[in-house]
Amino acid sequence: MSQIKLKVEGMSCEGCSSAVERILTRAAPGAAVQVDLEGARASLEGEDLPSALELSQAIEQGGFKAREEE
């Protein structure tokens, strides 16, 4: 099982974090997705996850900025 952590900028409300969660769930079906609004983070855990770059691009298409957390 692998894990990816992302820093997400631009989330200002629960609606934003829900949107990011939907984006990630579509991008990585079957993965466990958690979005932390206060910490401006998202994490995914599962098998055969897309790359952090692909996930970041999906989030950015939704109107937010994202990058892999170091």
Tens-digit pLDDT profile for residues 9-60: 999 999 999 999 999 999 999 999 999 999 999 999 999 999 999 999 999 9
**String of DSSP letters for 27-50:** HSTT-EEEEETTTTEEEEEESSPP
List the beta bridge partners of residue 34: 43
Assigned token pair, 62:
């939704």
Residue 47 near residue 1 (C-beta atoms within 8 A): yes
Assigned token pair, 54:
């692909």
Is residue 4 classed as helix, strand or coil in its secondary structure?
Answer: strand
How many structural domains does the chain have?
1
List the beta bridge partners of residue 47: none
Q: What is the pTM of this model?
A: 0.94
Residue 70 has pLDDT above 90, yes or no: no
Domain that holds residue 21: 2-68
Domain CATH code at residue 41 = 3.30.70.100
